[in-house]
Chain A
């Protein structure tokens, strides 16, 4: 499989993602510059975390109009696999490739810590190596991770099994206390209706070896490799 990691001005998890694919997942990976418009030949594109364009205007709002995104929107509409992590998730929402929006955390704090995530969907291209109900320990690092969408959109996400992960406590209970940032229904990660586009605020690429205190994120990438093979 060939992965591509997009670099926007202000991306800062591009190297983590590259390392994860090359050295842990052991698949091919290239960087894609934000000015590039040719995204042919990739089996999966990763929009990494960071602060693209300084988070000016709104998180992800400026990156969404960069040259590479116009090609990536076409790529995703043709069924190409695409995952946005943290700032990448914010960009995907701004680009309308995923529903909803990520607004400032309800306590207006930057949150940087390991959190517990409950696996809600174990059949998607991104989560088929997990089991529904698994509790994962994966870090977050964001100021705007508060997922919001109108009630009918949330219902559609729930009904179509489009929610991948929810913030939970150590025992897998999805509680208000475990909701670190105020997201509707504790939502931490979703997919589009077709299932080829995923977005999540936690950083699976930072939980891929023992040195990083957790390996719980590996299966996000391995699930896709498994599915594609």
Chain B
């Protein structure tokens, strides 16, 4: 079984409204040193070993489904169990 960890993040050029609000809360909590918060998604996939090419499969899943590349970047780690 392959365990795949996918991280989807908003492109740096885009305003992250949620992150901005959470940053304000962090400062309210007393952590003035927090300068920026960006919120993204973490997705775990389990892919069985019947797959011919796990790298191609994950790349296609990320670019076509899990991330919208107009506004998001993605990266992933594939581990074999």
Contacts and interface: CB of A to CB of B under 8 A. Distances in A.
B71 A101 contact: yes
18 contacts: A61-B65, A61-B68, A93-B70, A94-B68, A100-B70, A101-B70, A103-B14, A103-B71, A104-B17, A104-B18, A106-B15, A108-B17, A108-B18, A108-B21, A148-B14, A148-B70, A149-B70, A150-B70
B13 to A, nearest CB: 9
A171 interface: no
What are the 6 tightest A-B residue pairs by CB atom distance, in nearest-first order?
A101-B70, A108-B17, A101-B71, A101-B68, A106-B17, A58-B68
B66 to A, nearest CB: 7
A194 interface: no
Interface of B: 14-15, 17-18, 21, 65-66, 68, 70-71
A2 interface: no
Interface in A7-64: 57-58, 61
Interface string A103-125: 11011100000000000000000
Contacts of B66: 57
Contacts of B15: 106
A33 B73 CA distance: 33
